[in-house]
Amino acid sequence: MSKSVKEAHEPLFHIAKREALPFWLSWIIRIGAVAAALVACAAVTVLLTGENPIQVYATMIDGAIGTERRTWSLLQNTAMLLCISLAVTPAFKMKFWNIGAEGQVLMGGLATAACMILFGDKLSAPLLMIVMIVTSVLAGAIWGFIPAFFKANWNTNETLFTLMMNYIAMQIVSFFTYMWSVPKGSGQIGVINAKTQAGWIPALGGKAYLLNIIIVAVLTAVMYVYLKYSKHGYEISVVGESENTARYIGINVKKVIMRTVLLSGALCGIAGLLLVSGTDHTITRNTVAGRGFTAIMVSWLAKFNPVYMILTSFLIVFLQKGATEISTIFGLNDSFSEIITGIIIFFIIGSEFFVNYTIKFREKEANK
């Protein structure tokens, strides 16, 4: 809103960038948004089902933690989303808009599946696991490195580039699911090594997902330290704030971009490994199920802080699980849970607007 506009005609309200809010206020806005989202969801559900809203919330909570299995599933899904969020964070902090996590995870998963299928009965369990880790990390890293290399050398648009890489990854997965499908030509790989469980991440203490969760917890701690206390972490934030400043203080921007995206891709590869070897034991083109995009939101909402990300990913998965339960219990189509999740995510993203901007109404004097 420039001054000349104000002189000619001042609109009823205008939007201005806020001064940095005290963090408690920004969190009140965010929590308020979640509360408002829940009210909106209850309203929609009540309108469609006629159930009382308390019942709806109770169903949501029941769906997320109602039984032991559901709780494990909640924690596992949180861990998976968190892992991919951790993976996208270094690049995003550097303002490298990597929206290709979906494809990078998929490539990591495909590498894992390939090892399980091709070497499942040929290598010993520890050796197979090592080969799987190496190939999945490499696959994810290469998939991230290609756009980073072009960005660093020729300043290509990384958003479009990484987005397109997602579709290529999906087509490659389609090709291999067709090639390895059981029965031949069905386009479904089915459970890989169902009998031998070769290449499956082992259950700890009878809990299939425990090891996954521990691995992601460790990664979270490492990522926190890396971003906050290491020289690399410092370089990432400087390049993110201003490339010129970074150059001025002698940071090799090109190198930092490529190194960081390589790291992002490698972590995506690990997420693919955990998804295929530790969770699904198969691969389809939909294995990542949009987590590569949701992860961006998780990371942004948490202000790129891995510890906050535990909370944001937990919140999103909790709401998704609750919404799925509502659609099952009240006999609604699965699209309903997507509507509910959509409403909640809309409110959460909307709250960021109010955290960063303020709405200023026209002052009365200006009317005269």
Q: Which spans of this chain sit near another protein (rule: CB under 8 A)? A: 23-24, 27, 65-75, 182-186, 188, 190-191, 194, 279-282, 284, 286-287, 305, 307-308, 310-311, 314, 328, 331, 333-334
Dig out the tokens for 207 from the structure.
Answer: 């809990």
What's the min distance (Å) between Cβ of 256 and another protein? 25
What's the min distance (Å) between Cβ of 168 and another protein? 21
Going by C-alpha positions, the residue among 51, 160, 145 that lies closest to residue 99 is 160
Give whichever of 103 and 278 is closer to another protein, judged by the CB atom.
278
Give whichever of 72 and 293 is closer to another protein, judged by the CB atom.
72
Give whichever of 73 and 159 is closer to another protein, judged by the CB atom.
73
What's the min distance (Å) between Cβ of 279 and another protein? 7
What's the min distance (Å) between Cβ of 172 and another protein? 17
Give whichever of 194 and 218 is closer to another protein, judged by the CB atom.
194
Q: What residue type is 170 in one-letter code?
A: M
Dig out the tokens for 267 from the structure.
Answer: 């972590």
Give whichever of 50 and 185 is closer to another protein, judged by the CB atom.
185
Give whichever of 67 and 174 is closer to another protein, judged by the CB atom.
67
What's the min distance (Å) between Cβ of 65 and another protein? 5
Give whichever of 74 and 268 is closer to another protein, judged by the CB atom.
74
What's the min distance (Å) between Cβ of 116 and another protein? 14
SS3 sequence, the chain?
CCHHHHHHCCCCEEEEECCCCCHHHHHHHHHHHHHHHHHHHHHHHHHHHCCCHHHHHHHHHHHHHCCHHHHHHHHHHHHHHHHHHHHHHHHHHCCCCCCCHHHHHHHHHHHHHHHHHHHCCCCCHHHHHHHHHHHHHHHHHHHHHHHHHHHHHHCCCHHHHHHHHHHHHHHHHHHHHHHCCCCCCCCCCCCCCCCCCCCCCCCECCECCHHHHHHHHHHHHHHHHHHHHCHHHHHHHHHHHCHHHHHHCCCCHHHHHHHHHHHHHHHHHHHHHHHHHHHHCCCCCCCCCCHHHHHHHHHHHCCCCHHHHHHHHHHHHHHHHHHHHHHHHCCCCCHHHHHHHHHHHHHHHHHHHHHHEEEEECCHHHHC
Beta bridge partner(s), residue 361: 13
What's the min distance (Å) between Cβ of 264 and another protein? 23
Give whichever of 74 and 152 is closer to another protein, judged by the CB atom.
74
What's the min distance (Å) between Cβ of 284 and another protein? 5
